[in-house]
Structure 1
Amino acid sequence: MQAHSTRIREATENDLEAIVSLFADDPLGGHGDTADPEALPCYRAAFRKIAASPNETLYVAELDGEVVGTFQTMVTTTMTARGSSSLIVEAVQTRADMRGRGIGAAMINFAIERAREEGMRLVQLTSNAVRKDAHRFYERLGFTPSHIGFKLKLK
């Protein structure tokens, strides 16, 4: 079933609780996200930092006026590939009861189109190793598992 009326737009601070609830409802994320109102100031500070950055954008996907997904993009320019820019897609999340309706594809395709419009060299993302369904989803959209990522937790 396609989400024909999915609308992708930049997130506003009014979307914060809906965005946080998407992450808090994710059993695989392992980030310790919570919809507890006491944590809202941490999320609000992060939102404001992202909103103030010229290279980062937080988006939401709406279906019938309701936030049903989110993702974030970051532009990075490196010295490799003759100083090219790439778009990094992070924190992709679709509400659990809305999966399979084309919302995730709409979000990723939106990001790809923005990168094309800006003349970027590539779009890249990482996905938790346990998210096998997500890996198949990204491969269906044309992504190739070309690198191995490493992380060092500091907190």
Structure 2
Amino acid sequence: MAVELPAIRIRQALRGDLPALVSIFAADAVGGHGDTTDPVAFADYVRAFAAIEASPDQVLYVAERGGEVVGTFQTMVTTTLTGRGSSAMIIEAVQTRADMRGQGIGAGMIEFAIAEAKGRGIKRVALTSNAIRKDAHRFYERLGFKPSHLGFKMALK
């Protein structure tokens, strides 16, 4: 028996979406980003949201289904001298609410981001994924992404 799922709506995130977004990030045990729903930390998320909202090169999005936030992602556009001054869209912080995974929400969010990049004349979209998220890697490859670089990071104190 097939079940038709309601479509998702993707829109720019609003300040009022923060509790739902924080909840999605805090539920991610793999990411290791230290996200929490502790009210003491909420001001940190408000500050970050304000910085993203003020940036002309960043957009934070939410995916809604039935009026509820069920996913999120962020895009950033960078321009470098390499590639003859080319721009790239970086997709970050892609998360689907745990109880909504496997329903096409993640694919819808990524397809939306790619369409936004194409609409802006951007020729390359990039993203990173935690090395232990093998299911996510297969997901991105199914969407046409190719593993091409090895990433490094350093935590600063």
TM-superposition CA deviations, 1:37-58 (whole Å, max 9, x none):
1100000000000000000000
The equivalences for 1:129-148 within 5 A come to 129-148=131-150
Give how far 1:2 is off. 6.8
Kept after mapping to 2: 8 A contact 1:89/1:123: yes
Instruction: State the aligned residue count.
Output: 155
Kept after mapping to 2: 8 A contact 1:77/1:85: yes
Structure 1 gaps of 5+ residues are none
Identity rate of aligned residues, in percent? 66
The residue that corresponds to 1:117 in the other structure is 119
Kept after mapping to 2: 8 A contact 1:2/1:102: no
Q: Separation in 1 of the partners of 2:88 and 2:75?
A: 10
The residue that corresponds to 1:154 in the other structure is 156
The equivalences for 1:1-155 within 5 A come to 3-155=5-157
Higher relative CO (Cα under 8 Å, sequence separation at least 6) belongs to 1
Kept after mapping to 2: 8 A contact 1:2/1:101: no
Q: Separation in 2 of the partners of 1:66 and 1:4?
A: 12
Structure 2 gaps of 5+ residues are none
Distance 1:151 1:54, change over 3 A: same
Q: Separation in 2 of the partners of 1:17 and 1:2?
A: 28
The 4+ residue runs of structure 1 with deviation greater than 4 A are: 1-4
Q: Separation in 2 of the partners of 1:30 and 1:2?
A: 34
Kept after mapping to 2: 8 A contact 1:3/1:103: no
Give how far 1:20 is off. 0.4
Q: Separation in 2 of the partners of 1:4 and 1:115?
A: 25
Q: Separation in 2 of the partners of 1:97 and 1:13?
A: 23
Paired letter, 1:148: L
Give how far 1:4 is off. 4.5
Under a length normalisation based on structure 2, what TM-score does the superposition of the two structures give? 0.96
Give how far 1:3 is off. 4.8
Under a length normalisation based on structure 1, what TM-score does the superposition of the two structures give? 0.97
